[in-house]
Amino acid sequence: MLGWALTFFILAIVAGLLGFVALAGVAGEIAKVLFLVFLVLLVVSFIIRAVRGQSVV
């Protein structure tokens, strides 16, 4: 998921440099959403592992 977020972030930067402002905005928003989903899943994973007594590192 983090890989997809980085891909859309790079796409947004390239599109912005080339003048495709609308595409850059959409790609940027998708990258933000994917990054937030990644962070939520990461935190949930840490919490579940901590509750089970496993190492979170």
Instruction: List, for residues 40-57, the tens digit of each pLDDT value.
Output: 999 999 999 999 988 766
User: How do the domains of the chain map onto residue ranges?
Assistant: 2-52
Whole-number Å distance between alpha carbons of 25 and 55: 39
- Burial pattern 25-38, b for ≥16 Cβ within 10 A else e, equals eebbebbeebbeee
Whole-number Å distance between alpha carbons of 26 and 12: 8
Instruction: List, for residues 17-44, the tens digit of each pLDDT value.
Output: 999 989 899 998 999 999 999 999 999 9
User: pTM for the whole thing?
Assistant: 0.76
